[in-house]
Chain A
Amino acid sequence: MSLIVKNLEVKVDRFHLKVDEFDVKRGEEVFITGKTGAGKTVFIEALAGFHKISGGTIMIDGKDITHLPPEKRKMGIVYQNFHLFPHLNVMKNILFGVKNYRDSKNFIDFLIREFGIEHILERDVNSLSGGEKQRVAIVRALAIKPFVLMLDEPFSHIDEKTKCRILNILRQLKDDLGFCMIHVTHDFSVLNGGKHFEMINGNLRCIQNV
């Protein structure tokens, strides 16, 4: 499983994003850093299918997904503010994208246990702490068994201890399940020696390739 991006061009209003080359392999974790407004979020949103692509290709396992609608890409996304649906409780948020609960039940129960959220499943999402919201948002994104998990600074409002614990679980799951993880961050402490890209004014450049 690999995600390969070549000569990608995206225009959002007056912002112009250009990515010559970007690739992530199965089970790999890559980091994208850069200043606010540099285009990091636009890039992962373009990968997920939320922006019109004006040039280049996005391939998953050799299949061109450049113009595929977002719902067919299996790319989970977790934003900084988690975006849990406030009209649904925790369990309904988790099951939101699950097509067949019977088939996925064991996997979802496993995720719920791994992230330690068994006790909050019936809770209203508005009553959760930042750490709880984050774990629910990650479980929700993983519940659909995505090819790629994209994290857009979801650790920025979380204390250090919780951040380390969640990252360890995520990295273990990434290795076990084999999804790619794209980590957009300002926080250099989350970097673990994986491939590191920097976004500068809409241009992505690789600064560490392992």
Chain B
Amino acid sequence: MFKFLIILLAVVLIMLSVFPLFSIIFKTNPSILFETLKDKEFLNAIYVTVMAAFCSTLISILLGIPFSYVMARYHFPLKGLIEALVDIPQALPHTVAGIALIMVVGRNFMIGQTFSKFGVGFVNTFLGVILAMWYVSFSIFVNAVKEGFRGLDERYERVARSLGLSFTQTFFKVSIPMVKREIVSGAIQMWARAISEFGAIAILAYYPKTVSILAYDRFQGFGLSSALGVTALVIIIFGSLFTVLRFIEDRWKRSESR
């Protein structure tokens, strides 16, 4: 009886999560989908979203792996506070995160002014989209990789050092390969989260438009029917992409654990 209840609850959860997605897809006229596919603004928004999410994930990989290693391996004062601070952007309303960012990189603020001297701007630029995506989602990557390093028995690294490898060689030949699952998994989750970002982007870099901004723009400006094409295609394109990535990741993990 209890087993049946568990299965039933699982089915309810699946229904609740997929029903809104499929209802949009099925309620959208295919001709609108084809029209949207030819829409240059939509195609550009797809490009901006994918590339900005990719760049923000890449930045997280470069900065997040060393940070996660330090957090997992070393003990130092205020470590708990630093970990909490890193998680804050994730917990904030993302519009608040966007306002916080604009207070730092905005044209009237010190860092923003410094960058603007070199012709680099963040407000309403592609860099701003990357920064907003990165800021609200990097902790997903960092936490996944940190758990990976925490779960890695330090003795593997000690054995490598005893065999004559330096700290750097050990890091690249033992530590990183042994947490590659967490790195890949964290990167996919972060990339997906970055793609879905709206609040921080809307505040910091409304332009160039990402798909989340474009869907909002169409909904606000022209109503629900106008936003349906963009929304349905975003669900189809990113839903399929994410599903394929998770499927590949899952197959890879299984083959690795065999």
Q: Which residues does A use to contact B, with CB under 8 Å?
A: 45, 48-50, 69-71, 73-77, 79, 81, 83, 85-87, 96-97, 99, 126, 140-141, 144
A77 near B158 with CB under 8 A, answer yes
Q: A87 and B178 in contact (CB under 8 A), knowing A71-B164, A97-B165, A144-B164?
A: yes
Q: How many B residues face the partner with a CB closer than 8 A?
A: 19
Closest B residue to A97 by CB, please name it.
B163
Closest B residue to A127 by CB, please name it.
B258
Give Cα A134 to B219, complex, Å: 65
The yes or no answer to B159 lying at the interface (CB within 8 A) is yes
The yes or no answer to B119 lying at the interface (CB within 8 A) is no
Q: Which residues of B132-176 are within 8 A (CB) of A?
A: 153, 155-156, 158-167, 173-174
The yes or no answer to B177 lying at the interface (CB within 8 A) is yes
Residues of B within 8 A of A97 (CB): 160, 162-165
CB distance from B179 to the nearest CB of A (A): 10
A48 near B178 with CB under 8 A, answer no
Give Cα A53 to B156, complex, Å: 21
Give Cα A77 to B258, complex, Å: 27
B155 near A79 with CB under 8 A, answer yes
Residues of A within 8 A of B178 (CB): 85-87
Closest B residue to A148 by CB, please name it.
B162
Interchain CB contact (< 8 A) of A79 among B159, B160, B161, B167: B159
Residue picked from B163, B174, B177, most chain A C-beta under 10 Å: B163
B162 near A48 with CB under 8 A, answer yes
CB distance from B77 to the nearest CB of A (A): 15
A96 near B166 with CB under 8 A, answer no
B161 near A70 with CB under 8 A, answer yes
CB distance from A141 to the nearest CB of B (A): 7
Residues of B within 8 A of A49 (CB): 161
Residues of B within 8 A of A87 (CB): 177-178, 180
Interchain CB contact (< 8 A) of B162 among A77, A99, A126: A77
Give Cα A86 to B181, complex, Å: 13
Give Cα A79 to B150, complex, Å: 19
Give Cα A96 to B177, complex, Å: 14
Q: Mark B13-50, 1 if CB is under 8 A from A, else 0.
A: 00000000000000000000000000000000000000
Besides A50-B161, A70-B162, A85-B174, 12 other A-B contacts (C-beta < 8 A): A45-B158, A69-B166, A71-B162, A71-B166, A75-B162, A76-B163, A85-B178, A96-B165, A96-B173, A97-B162, A97-B164, A97-B165
Residues of B within 8 A of A144 (CB): 163-164
Interchain CB contact (< 8 A) of A83 among B159, B164, B167, B258: B159
Give Cα A157 to B206, complex, Å: 62
Residues of A within 8 A of B177 (CB): 85, 87
Residues of B within 8 A of A45 (CB): 158
Q: Which 8 pairs between the two chains have the least Cβ-Cβ distance?
A: A97-B163, A70-B161, A87-B177, A97-B164, A77-B162, A83-B159, A71-B164, A83-B155
Residues of A within 8 A of B173 (CB): 96
Closest B residue to A77 by CB, please name it.
B162
CB distance from A123 to the nearest CB of B (A): 13
CB distance from A93 to the nearest CB of B (A): 10
CB distance from B131 to the nearest CB of A (A): 34
Closest A residue to B258 by CB, please name it.
A126
A96 near B162 with CB under 8 A, answer no
Give Cα A45 to B154, complex, Å: 12
